[in-house]
Amino acid sequence: MECFIAGPTASGKTVFGIGLYEYLGGDVKIKNRALSLNRGDVQTIDELYQYMRKECSYPKGTEKEEVRIYIFEKESLLDTITIEFLDYSGEYLEYLPQSIRDYDDLLNKVELYLNDEQLERAKEKLLSFEDLRKLRGSLSVESMVDLMKVYLISKFFMSNKLILLMDGKKLSDYLSGKDVEIIGDIISYKDILYNVIEETKDNDIYPEKEIALVITKADLLDHKFERETGRNRIEDEKKFIKWVDKYLKKSDKKIPAYSELRSLSNKIFATSVKIIHSERRIVTSGFKRVKDWIESVSLLGGRLL
């Protein structure tokens, strides 16, 4: 199974990926690799995990136009689970729908850096992590951006499972009338998925997809949810999801693209960052230390993978 974690800048991709890494850890060996396209060495998943658990701090953020790619896989007798995610400064998702439509033009911009086999895979939207490791020549910033678009498009096409992160802070700000950034993120996801579904529906080289939405930093919505419903998100997660759905589908805050996106997704979850023990089970809430956030995502792992 190939799983790809996508999300806008600062939506929590790195911590989310490390949480799933912790979930998969155990008796079976996990292979992991990392790649920076234009900054030399980059920390591996193991090094990131150690740093974040020890320091209770996030690693240094990516600089402008920097891209780091992380991949780890767990092999077992039944299946191999491969998970990939990117860490970058700046935005890529919002440009992908148009890039998919103008894909031939995009390929013309990057073919100089690809050998014949890589170029063929790129044409099929199957460019891989290993392909990026073997690029020809040094990349300009503009070329790196174009290659990342090809790579991101490939991951949307070739992955069995897509985990799409919705930033809970943006959602909270939207519901409180502070800004509308979350609308753009939802529209981008919806447009990307429609393009992917349309192009893959009659093509056997691409796998069927399971799509999960995850609201990160959901604890930032707890006060509003509890005030309006009298419920606790931790004890009534289904009610929380219905509450979000009602706001984004039917209220004066509705976002038409959200209804379309929800119709395409198989599951929706919410995660936050501080471990709390309820009478029934271990649950997650709060917004405290980084290591607690990692553990909270790890708790969600069994329902996502």
Q: What is the mean pLDDT of the chain?
A: 83
* Coil vs helix vs strand at 109: helix
Backbone angles phi, psi at 182, to 5 degrees: -60, -25
Measured CA angle at 145 (ends 41, 199), to 5 deg: 120
Give this prediction's pTM. 0.88
Confidence at residue 296, expressed as pLDDT on a 0 to 100 scale: 66
Give the chain's domain count. Answer: 1
Distances (CA, A) of 38 to 25, 66, 189, 282: 30, 7, 27, 41
- Find the mean pLDDT for residues 180-194: 95
* Coil vs helix vs strand at 113: helix
Domain housing 269: 2-304
Q: What is the pLDDT of residues 234-291, one digit of tens each?
A: 788 889 999 999 999 999 999 999 999 999 987 888 876 543 433 333 333 333 456 6
- Find the mean pLDDT for residues 99-111: 94
Helix segments in the chain, DSSP class H? 13-24, 45-55, 96-101, 103-110, 116-123, 129-133, 141-158, 168-175, 181-200, 222-229, 237-250, 256-264, 290-304
